Amino acid sequence: MFFPKEVEIIEVGPRDGLQNESMFVATEKKKELVKFLSKTGVRRIETASFVHPKAVPQMADAVEMAAFSNELGIEYIALTPNMKALGRAIECKVPQIAVFVGATETFNQKNIRASIEESLAECNLVFKKAKACNLKIRAYVSMGFSCPYEGNVSYEQVKRVVEHFEKNGADEISVGDTNGQANPRIVYERFSRLKDDFPNIEFVAHFHDTNHFAYANVVAALQAGISKFDSSIAGLGGCPFSPGATGNVSTEGLVKLFDDMKIETGIHQDALHEASQFAKSLFM
Amino acid sequence: MFFPKEVEIIEVGPRDGLQNESMFVATEKKKELVKFLSKTGVRRIETASFVHPKAVPQMADAVEMAAFSNELGIEYIALTPNMKALGRAIECKVPQIAVFVGATETFNQKNIRASIEESLAECNLVFKKAKACNLKIRAYVSMGFSCPYEGNVSYEQVKRVVEHFEKNGADEISVGDTNGQANPRIVYERFSRLKDDFPNIEFVAHFHDTNHFAYANVVAALQAGISKFDSSIAGLGGCPFSPGATGNVSTEGLVKLFDDMKIETGIHQDALHEASQFAKSLFM
C-alpha cells in the first residue's frame, strides 16, 4: 500500500458545510469560525459563495466574508459558479474561485435548473475571465460516483465534465461523492483512470460519510495517488441540527486518520479541537 | 489495490458482542438472535462461552446455547479459554472452540489475572485436548495493535502469542484491534508481516469501530491478503444501551461494504436486516 509523506486538507466547512445546514448562522459567527480555522494550520479554507442570495440565503454575506478573509490574510476559496458571481468576487479581491457542475443531467437540472452543457458553457466564460485576472481555479464535479436521481454514475459521465474543466484551464478538480454512496473499489478505479487520462490535473477527493465508508474511501484514494482531500469541520453539511451525521467527512476525523498513519497534514490537533468545539456550539 | 472475489465473515455478536453489553439478555432471546443469524447465510457464528458463569454472568447459558446451536445444525464457535471450559464444551459436542490471549502483560493481568506465559500454557493444554477430540481451533490475540494500559503494541508482542498458537496447532488466528485504535497503515504492515512470518496460518481481522476507522482498516487488511473478518450484528459489544456506538464493527456495515465492492460474502442483506432489527430490539 502507498502512504504518502504528506497530504493537503482543504477546509470547506464555512461554505460547502454551512450551505447545507438549514439553520442560519450569523455572519459574525461565521467569521469567528473562519478565525478558529485559520489558526489550525490548514492551508486553504472555502469561506464564501457569491451565488445569488435568493438561491442560498445562508451565503448572502459573501462580500463581508471575503473582506474578513482578506483581512486575516488566509488563502481562501469562494464559489463563483457564474459570471455575475465572478464579477462580485473580483471586486472583493478573492484569490481563488470555485465552480461546480454535476456529472448527471437530472442533478444539474434539479440543482441549478440548467443542463450540463449550459453549466459548462457558463464555466468556460468564468474560467476565461478568472484566468485573465490571475485567479486560481478550482472546479467541483458533483455526483462523481453516484446520483440520488440516476443511480450509478459512469466514468464517461465524469470524464466529460473533467475534460471541459481541463481544456478551459482548471488548476485543480475536486471529484465529489456528493451523496455518499461511493465505496473503496470505485474510488480507487475512478481516480486511477482520471489520473491516467488527465496526468496534468491535480485531483482532489471530496467524500461524504453517509455510509461511514469515507475513511475507507480516503485510503483507497491514497492508493490511486490522490493527496488532496476536502473536509468539513465537525462534519458540517450533513443533517440540519446534527453536525456530522451524514454530511461531509469531518476535518477532525481526517486529521486523526492521517496523524495515526504518520502522514503530515500541517494541521494541529489542539487548535482543530477548538475550532471543532466552536463549530458544534453553533448548532446547540 | 487488491479486491478478492470472496471473503468470509464470522459473526461474533451472540458471544463476543453480548458479553460486552452490560444489559443481561435472556437465553430465549439469544436463541432467537442465533436463529435469525442462521438464516442470513453467514457460515460461522460464535454462540457460546464456557468461561465460569461467575466471571461472565451474561454467558451462563453456554450449555443451552450449545444445545440449541447443535439443534439448528449450524457451524458455531464456543469460547473455551481453559481446561474446565473445554471439558464442558466437549460434553456439549461443540464443533469449534476459541481461546484468547492478550498481547500485553497488563491487559492479560487485568482481564484474567494471569500472565501471558500462564495463559499460553493453559492454551497449550486446551489445544492438545481439543485436537485429540478433532475440534477446530480458533485463537484470538487481543490488543493486537494497541492496549488501553500499555499504548502501542509492538509486532514482537503479537508475534510471541501467534508463535505459541501456531506451534500448538491453532487452525486460525484472529488478531483483534480490541480497543479500536488501529489505523490502516499499522493494519496493513502488521498483517503483511504476520502472513510472511506464518504462511500456514489463516489470519482473521477483528476490528472495533471506536474511531470510525474500521472500514478503512478492513480495506487495508484486504491489501495484506486477509479475507476473513469477525463482525458483530448491530455492532453489539460497544456501549451498553447503545449498540454500535464504539464496539465491534457491525456485520451489516461490513456486508454492505463488501457488496458495494462486489466481493462475495454469501450473506443476504434482507435476512441480515431482520437479524439486525431483532438485535437492536433487545436494547430498546
pLDDT digits (tens, 9 = 90+) for B62-111: 999 999 999 999 999 999 999 999 999 999 999 999 999 999 999 999 98
Q: State mean pLDDT over A219-242.
A: 86
Mean pLDDT of the B145-170 span: 96
In a domain, A34, yes or no: yes
Please compute the mean of the pLDDT values over residues B128-154 and round it to a whole number: 96
Q: Can you give the pLDDT at residue A24? A: 86
Whole-number pLDDT of residue B111: 86
Q: What is the dihedral of CA A85, A91, A95, A97, to 10 degrees?
A: 10
Chain B within 8 Å of A225 (Cβ-Cβ)? no
Give the CA distances from residue A121 to residues A116, A118, A165, A172, A226, in Å, rounded to whole numbers and listed in that order. Answer: 9, 5, 10, 18, 28
- Is residue A191, in this structure, part of any structural domain at all? yes
The CATH number for A231's domain is 3.20.20.70
As a whole number of angstroms, the distance between CA B242 and CA A231 comes to: 27
- Estimate to the nearest angstrom the gap between the alpha carbon of B256 and the chain centroid: 19
Please report which helix (H) or strand (E) contains residue A75, including its range.
strand A75-79
Contact A1 B184 (CB under 8 A): yes
Asked whether residue A129 is domain-assigned, the answer is: yes
B28 Cβ partners below 8 Å, 6+ apart? none
pLDDT digits (tens, 9 = 90+) for B225-255: 999 999 999 999 864 444 444 689 999 999 9
Query: For residue A274, is it within any domain?
Result: yes
User: A26 is in which domain, residue-wise?
Assistant: 8-281
ipTM for the complex shown: 0.95
Chain B residues within 8 A of A215 when measuring between CB atoms: 184, 212-213, 215-216
Chain B residue with minimal CA distance to A218? Answer: B216
Residue A1 lies in a domain: no
pLDDT category at A244 given cuts 50, 70, 90 is: very low
pLDDT of residue B240: 43
Residue A2 lies in a domain: no
Catalytic center residues of B: 239
Q: Cβ–Cβ of B185/A211 closer than 8 Å? A: no
- pLDDT, residue B58, reads 86
Chain B: closest CA distance from residue A132 (Å): 41
pLDDT in tens, B16-46: 999 888 888 999 999 999 999 999 999 999 9
Q: Kindly tell me the number of DSSP H helices and DSSP E strands found in chain A.
A: 11, 10
Does the beta carbon of B113 lie under 8 angstroms from any beta carbon of chain A? no
Q: How much is the pLDDT for A56?
A: 85
Give, as one character, the DSSP assignment of residue A5: S
If one counts the domains in chain B, the total is 1
- Identify the closest residue of chain A to B223 by CA–CA distance: A1
Contact of B173 with B133, CB cutoff 8 Å:
no
For residue B40, being part of any structural domain is answered with: yes
| pLDDT top residue among A243 and A163 | A163
